[in-house]
Amino acid sequence: MTLVAGIDSSTQACKVTVRDLATGLRVREGKAAHPDATVVDPEVWWTALLEAVRAAGGLDDVAAVSVSGQQHTPIFLDASGAAVARSPLWNDTGSHPQMVALNAELGREEWIRRTGLPLTLSDTVVKARWLRDTDPDAARRTAAVAVVHDWLTWRLRGFGPGTGGVERLTTDRSEASGTAYWSGQDEAYTPDLFAHAFGSSAILPEVLGPLGRAGVTGAGIPGVPAGIPIGVGSGDNAAAALALGLEDGDAVLSLGTSGVVYARTAAPVHDYAGYVCSYADATGAHLPLVATLNAARNLHLGASLLGCTYAELSDLALEAPAGAGGLALLPYFEGERTPDLPHARGSLQGATLTNLTRANFARAVVEGTLASQVAMLDALHACAVPTTRMLLIGGAAKNHAVQRVLSQMVDLPIVVPEFDEYVTKGAAMQAAAALDGAFPSWELAATELPRAQFEPQIARQHVEAQRALGYIDPVLIGSS
């Protein structure tokens, strides 16, 4: 049996999955947690990768490996290969002033026209301006800027602090497209935009093709044999889309730490309304995407407050009627990216002495979470991105209340693929491509959810709650 490994360095943890090259089936896996902080020493990601490899039984019998990871999050490196500062994660809201400044300086439409991205506080270019503003000395010492997957791939090749070799950094087009200094139209960096934000130029990773090979593993890495091929890797959503075999007309709703809705298109999208980010995928196509900061953790909060399990939260939510008796939750607990509300906080609207019950509250948590996601689907539709079915993935996809309520809010067939680590699976497919020169064809099992009566009052109630707090934006009115 030939084995390949996929690595996912996500926001919350590093996961390693070893798979059978012939079938894609998981043989073994390992996991290691990341810290909860949103500005961290990047060395924690390398330490977690090594721990996850160890937990997976090592990679001594693996023929190839590839890394995927959280998009946007930068590592700022000096010429020796050492990090000059801690890294702000994509979901750290401290860079919001820098986003505002960059939009004011060049104009929001200019960023969209040239990169396909309405600038958000998550984008790498915004984090680069953040470093320039908050730690000018570190910015002056920066020779190269990479994102997490680029850097971990480089470390697996044997580079690191003190080795130099920052000019050997590599990436793929999906990660490059999330920086806001790369053009999906031209398939090339826009170095003047980086220099404008950062105040100087820096080495940027070489962008390899979808079937590219980043190199081979270096010597002396615990649990990792030297000399095995390393795939090009990708951003997390691009890896998941690859594993799902995404086709034109498919939309994906991923409910994890963040909520993400994306689809596959042949050409880049330019959303001058300012919500859809035109990313590239891992195959050569494009992946227009909208994201929220708040998603599956909302369910964790709801279960904790009610003192129940996730299954009990689901059962409670399904006891309540659509609309939760008038309760509406705006789940902006961490601020929000879509809509752009970095300083907002969660709010429960419409509570009375009679409707504030455990069941209605559980339902409001589920409805509020999904209303934010359905609004993102509407933003894709506003950009003429066609969708004929929805694939529901992520940790919260197994929740029965999530499945039922989403079926009441979206007038599309909804398919739930069997549970898998789709980011590590996509990374493993890239490892296979580094080995064989082509992506493998692995079977995907999925179940279509029963259709449910459309309940437009759920989205309408969410909009009314937004309006009550002055958050309303007509682009984000959920009506799918």
How confident is the model over 432-460, as pLDDT tens digits? Answer: 999 999 999 999 999 999 999 999 999 99
* pLDDT per position as a tens digit, 199-256: 999 999 999 999 999 999 999 999 999 999 999 999 999 999 999 999 999 999 999 8
Mean pLDDT of 119-144: 97
Q: What pLDDT is attached to residue 474?
A: 43
* pLDDT per position as a tens digit, 160-196: 999 999 999 999 999 999 999 999 999 999 999 999 9
Q: Is the pLDDT of residue 478 over 50?
A: no
Rounded CA separation 393/398 (Å): 8
Three-state secondary structure along the chain? CCEEEEEEECCCEEEEEEEECCCCCEEEEEEEECCCCCEECCHHHHHHHHHHHHHCCCCCCEEEEEEEECCCCEEEECCCCCECCCEECCCCHHHHHHHHHHHHHHCHHHHHHHHCCCCCCCCHHHHHHHHHHHCHHHHHHCCEEEEHHHHHHHHHCCCCCCCCCHHHCEEEHHHHCCCCCEECCCCEECHHHHHHHHCCCCECCEEECCCCEEEECCCCCCCCCCCCEEECCEEHHHHHHHHHCCCCCEEEEEECCCEEEEECECCCCCCCCCCCEEEECCCCCEEEEEEECCCHHHHHHHHHHHCCCHHHHHHHHHHCCCCHHHCEEECCECEECCCCECCCCCEEECCCCCCCCHHHHHHHHHHHHHHHHHHHHHHHHHCCCCCCEEEEECHHHHCHHHHHHHHHHCCCCEEEECCCCHHHHHHHHHHHHHHHCCCCCCCCCEEECCCCCCCCHHHHHHHHHHHHCCCCCHHHCCCC
Q: What pLDDT is attached to residue 473?
A: 56
Residue 475 pLDDT level (bands cut at 50, 70, 90): very low
Using an 8 Å Cβ cutoff, are 373 and 394 in contact? no
Model confidence, pTM: 0.89
Tell me the one-letter amino acid at 155. R
Are β-strands 414-417 and 389-393 bridged in parallel, bridged antiparallel, or unpaired? parallel
With vertex at residue 406, the alpha carbon angle to CA 403 and CA 409, rounded to the nearest 5 degrees, is: 155
Mean pLDDT of the chain: 95
Tell me the one-letter amino acid at 45. W
Residue 293 pLDDT level (bands cut at 50, 70, 90): confident
Helix axes 400-409, 457-468, angle to 10 degrees: 90
Residue carrying structure tokens 């909009």? 463
Q: Is the pLDDT of residue 97 over 70?
A: yes
Using an 8 Å Cβ cutoff, are 286 and 264 in contact? yes
Mean pLDDT of 132-142: 98
320: its two tokens = 């309540």
Using an 8 Å Cβ cutoff, are 79 and 451 in contact? no
Q: What pLDDT is attached to residue 341?
A: 87
64: its two tokens = 């190839």
Residue 395 pLDDT level (bands cut at 50, 70, 90): confident
With vertex at residue 276, the alpha carbon angle to CA 275 and CA 278, rounded to the nearest 5 degrees, is: 145
CA terminus-to-terminus distance, the chain: 46
Q: Is the pLDDT of residue 62 over 50?
A: yes
Q: Could you give all domains of the chain from N- to C-terminal order, each with its CATH number?
A: 3-232 (3.30.420.40), 245-417+450-479 (3.30.420.40)
Q: Is the pLDDT of residue 137 over 60?
A: yes
Mean pLDDT of 364-393: 96
Q: Is the pLDDT of residue 480 over 80?
A: no
Q: Catalogue the active-site residues.
A: 236
